[in-house]
Amino acid sequence: MKAGCLTLFPGMAWDLSRIETAPRRACPSAFRVVTCGPVWKGLQVAIVFWLYGRSGAGKTTLANLLCRDLRERNRPVVFIDGDLARSGLSSDLGFTPGSRTENHRRVAEVARLVSEQGITAVVATMAPEHEQRDRVRQVLGDRMVWVHVEAPLEECLRRDPKGLYQKARAGKLNLLLDYPFDPPRPGEHDVVVNTASASVEDCHHHLLAEVLRRLGERESATRPMP
Ligand SMILES: Nc1ncnc2c1ncn2[C@@H]1O[C@H](COP(=O)(O)OP(=O)(O)O)[C@@H](O)[C@H]1O
Ligand SMILES: [Mg+2]
């Protein structure tokens, strides 16, 4: 039996680190389960692939292709797109740095819940400042992989898939052109996809190869002992 785990049925284990002692009065057995739910052997915490980059860099395009590929491989995956989170989960938030960070915290918490069910999560947000990236990392730790979807501002202005830069230029949206985009710090990201110098197809294949490699590595590391 793995240290810290109590096996109840073949293939199922309770994680003892999730059980804490409680006063005998409250719980005669002296133990209280604080987090419900078994930890299934071989179904450990899944990876969160977090695509970040400027508006128009290609995050949503690549994330959709990646999710399609993973589903075709019978791998459960949840896609959380920043734009959609903004219209529901974080519809009460504005765009101050603090609000952007709170938005990222919420999305990261959702991704954490998903990954704890053994489901791969793919997230796409701008995460423009270090503050947001640091907050996300704080919530997700080592279970996450940062993918920088990189394209220079001039290319994003040219593409402008949602017309946001045009609105910003017309003064209807003062957010985007002034938007800071902190350059990644050395070693910050795990994967880089440069969408200005390669086609959608090439970027997609590069990303898929990186993702499959990491999923394979994680699974061989957590595969239960025979
Ligand atoms: N190599 C590439 N990878 C991804 N998207 C690309 C690439 N080259 C051009 N594009 C185009 O850029 C646009 C990116 O839009 P989108 O995916 O919505 O960006 P984001 O989600 O980052 O704001 C799409 O119209 C897409 O077809
Ligand atoms: Mg998008």
Cβ of 132 closer than 6 Å to ligand 1, yes or no, is no
Cβ of 200 closer than 6 Å to ligand 1, yes or no, is yes
Number of domains the chain is built from = 2
Residues 167-208: tens digit of each pLDDT: 877 776 656 555 678 999 998 899 999 999 999 999 999 999
| Same-domain check for residues 183 and 83 | yes
Average pLDDT (136-145) is 97
* CATH number assigned to the domain comprising residue 116: 3.40.50.300
pTM flag (> 0.85): no
Q: Is 41 helix (H, G, I), strand (E, B) or coil?
A: coil
pLDDT category of residue 38 using cuts at 50, 70 and 90: very low
| Same-domain check for residues 81 and 118 | yes
Residue span of the structural domain in which 185 resides:
48-222
| Same-domain check for residues 97 and 22 | no
Distance, first Cα to last Cα, the chain: 12
Which atom of ligand 1 is closest in space to residue 202's alpha carbon?
1
| Same-domain check for residues 15 and 79 | no
Say if residues 165 and 157 touch (Cβ distance below 8 Å).
yes
The CB density around residue 154, as the number of other CB atoms within 10 Å, is 9
CA gyration radius for the chain?
Answer: 20
| Same-domain check for residues 19 and 101 | no
| Same-domain check for residues 157 and 184 | yes
- Residue 165 CB-half CA count within 13 A: 14
Q: What is the token pair recorded at 45? A: 């915490």
Where b means 16+ CB within 10 Å and e means fewer, 35-61 reads eeebbebeebbbbbbbbbbbbbbbbbb
pLDDT category of residue 144 using cuts at 50, 70 and 90: very high
Q: How far apart are CA 69 and CA 133, in angstroms?
A: 26
| Same-domain check for residues 151 and 74 | yes
Q: How far apart are CA 24 and CA 27, in angstroms?
A: 5
**Ligand 1 mean position to 119 CA, how many Å?**
26
| Same-domain check for residues 33 and 64 | no
Residues 46-92: tens digit of each pLDDT: 999 999 999 999 999 999 999 999 999 999 999 999 989 999 999 99
